[in-house]
Amino acid sequence: MKLLRYGARGAEKPGLLDKDGKIRDLSQHVPDIAGAVLSPESLARLAKIDAATLPLVEGNPRYGACVGNIGKFICVGLNYSDHAKETGAEPPKEPILFMKATSAVVGANDNVMIPRNSVKTDWEVELGVVIGREARYVDEKSALDYVAGYCVINDVSERAFQTERGGQWVKGKSADTFGPTGPWLVTKDEVKDVQNLGMWLDVDEKRYQNGSTKTMIFGVAHLVHYISQFMSLQPGDVISTGTPPGVGLGQKPNPIYLKAGQVMRLGIEGLGEQRQQVIATP
């Protein structure tokens, strides 16, 4: 299934994408695509619904973030061997974890605002992992049993805030609009091999990122296992698993950063595409 949330920000409704690419309304069956709705039992019930019997959503409504009320937005740094190489960093011995504020989360095609005083706003296409049931001290072998599905994330970053202002990375990752998520959540049964998905990102129609989840240093199962040793993962939590090479910071001979007026397009094989207009903060 491809589950989604559509409508005005703050008033999104639950839906799914049918086989013809049309949005069908799920409001009569679930209150939102969030929390307990993402449990294995709930997803099994939704999978039995004949999409053709659901109300068709007319027009082209806004896609909200594909997960509502995200409790934790956990990110993994330097998790692609080829990305670590382009930044000049040593590949980590263990996953590097940091948080992105959930107030950064927006829809897949919403505008991205460059923060005030920003000089190094950057892009990062990432695979998002959505948790479906509580995970505490899980082993790697069973880790994917706790995953509801996957989505596209743009882990927008302000590099000067991230690395030149002291402290942890979170301040460079958490500006409003820095977490486009979606357009839909693809349940894990539709993803044949999560460690072999092509992923890409363009700025103004120029391809900058063109990678694959196969170059992850720590795969999805290991990340779910690893993170669950330090905190419980709850239904609706999201893990953003790192980015392949081609970020603005890594451009040669000089880094390239986003400017108001530019357009980002990005996607992951089988998980959909995003498009964001870059604007200045009002």
pLDDT of residue 89: 75
Q: How many structural domains compose the chain? A: 2
Complete edge-to-edge strand list for the sheet that includes strand 206-212: 112-114, 272-280, 263-268, 198-203, 206-212
Look at residue 64 and tell me if it is in a domain: no
**Domain range spanning residue 266?**
73-280
pLDDT of residue 153: 98
**pLDDT tens sequence for the chain (282 residues):** 999 999 999 999 999 999 999 999 999 999 999 999 999 999 999 999 999 999 999 999 999 999 999 999 999 999 998 777 777 778 899 999 999 999 999 999 999 999 999 999 999 999 999 999 999 999 999 999 999 999 999 999 999 999 999 888 999 999 999 999 999 999 999 999 999 999 999 999 999 999 999 999 999 999 999 999 999 999 999 999 999 999 999 999 999 999 999 999 999 999 999 999 999 998
Helix/strand/coil for 88: coil
Do residues 136 and 17 both lie within one domain?
Answer: no
Tell how strand 206-212 and strand 13-17 pair up: unpaired
pLDDT of residue 87: 74
pLDDT of residue 81: 85
Do residues 47 and 92 both lie within one domain?
Answer: no
Q: Find tokens 């779910």 and name the residue.
A: 224
Do residues 96 and 33 both lie within one domain?
Answer: no
Do residues 180 and 151 both lie within one domain?
Answer: yes
Look at residue 156 and tell me if it is in a domain: yes
Report yes or no: 69 and 34 within 8 Å, Cβ to Cβ.
Answer: yes
Do residues 93 and 221 both lie within one domain?
Answer: yes
Tell how strand 198-203 and strand 206-212 pair up: antiparallel
Report yes or no: 122 and 188 within 8 Å, Cβ to Cβ.
Answer: no
Report yes or no: 155 and 100 within 8 Å, Cβ to Cβ.
Answer: yes
Q: What is the DSSP string of 83-110?
A: HHHHHTPPPPSS-EEEE--GGGEE-TTS
The CATH number that applies at residue 159 is 3.90.850.10
Look at residue 97 and tell me if it is in a domain: yes
Look at residue 230 and tell me if it is in a domain: yes
What values do phi and psi take at 201, rounded to 5?
Answer: -150, 135
In one letter, which amino acid is 173? K
Do residues 36 and 135 both lie within one domain?
Answer: no
